[in-house]
Amino acid sequence: MTIETQTPSAEEIAQHYSAAMDSVNLINGTKPERMEDADWADCLSRNKDHLNIMLAKDYWTTENLTPLQDAAK
């Protein structure tokens, strides 16, 4: 079985970058008042995982990946 991979369009790459930046902003933000510490830690972990997945993609062109790299640490 052959698996075909398609390179995303410029619009799709922009959408992926925007979603990744949403994760960056969440990570760099503050915990919502009513959120339990354990839930916040889980939220941060999931968003860092998302960033690491996105950083592994090979379709990036001129996007600044530094904020993603910094937030994924």
The pLDDT tens digits of the residues spanning 32-52 come to 999 999 999 999 999 999 999
User: pTM value?
Assistant: 0.87
Express each pLDDT in 47-72 by its tens digit.
Answer: 999 999 999 999 999 999 999 999 99
Instruction: Say how many CA atoms lie within 13 Å of 72 toward its Cβ.
Output: 15
